[in-house]
Structure 1
């Protein structure tokens, strides 16, 4: 993707959130801390790709991965404060899509259905 000097922070945020499945992973974690298998069951995504996206989000400081020293080991994922700050963005996109996106045709409507 071509870099722009217009707004590097916006470009980086779009690069992060715009990655395939990332927005839906964040949306799922807005429900609260979850184990890997719960997230995987909720989304039509392979375990390998989910693991990759969770690692990327962890490196960005959006997701926290907690390991509990139990037998068997329990690993839980949750949103950090940085991740939780995305809730308004995700909810606004959800509202926008309900008005403007027609899921039957996968296109954007030209006029809202209200």
Structure 2
């Protein structure tokens, strides 16, 4: 890999910082994937992802602030709250696919190393 200028490196690091701020952590991408797959209600997502209610609530608020989802309240009875991905979430499709592919390769690499192959 060829060495790049200090400015190029700083710009790349800043881009990574911005991305990790918006989608970093253990839960955000999982929540977006669950929403894309059709799990739109709080309890559905909580069960599907395996996340605490407190953490899910926090992450949903952050994702909404960053424009990845919207929150819709349907008056009841009972009151129903649904979350929907925005068009902006589509900008993550390539990132999600690349991360998923890399994760599968990494898991296989580790499995093979541990089994001595």
Gaps of 5+ in 2: 1-8
Partner of 1:17: 23
- CA contact 1:30–1:84 (8 Å) conserved in 2: no
Partner of 2:81: 75
How far apart are the structure 1 equivalents of 2:90 and 2:76? 27
1:6 — aligned with what? 11
Deviations 1:58-111 (A, max 9, x none): 011111111112211110011101112212211221111112224976xxx7xx
- 8 A contact 2:39–2:45 mirrored in 1: no
- For the pair shown, which has the larger CA radius of gyration, 1 or 2? 2
Match of 1:98 in 2: 104
Structure 1 residues not aligned, in runs of 5+:
110-114
Contact 1:68 1:74 in 2 (8 A): yes
Question: Which position in structure 2 is the counterpart of 1:37?
Answer: 43
TM-score by length of 1: 0.78
Provide the C-alpha distance between the structure 1 equivalents of 2:56 and 2:108, rounded to a whole number of angstroms: 27
Q: Which has the higher helix share?
A: 2
Q: Which moved more, 1:22-31 or 1:10-19?
A: 10-19
Supply the RMSD in Å over aligned alpha carbons. 2.2
Aligned length: 103
User: Which residue is 2:67 aligned to?
Assistant: 61
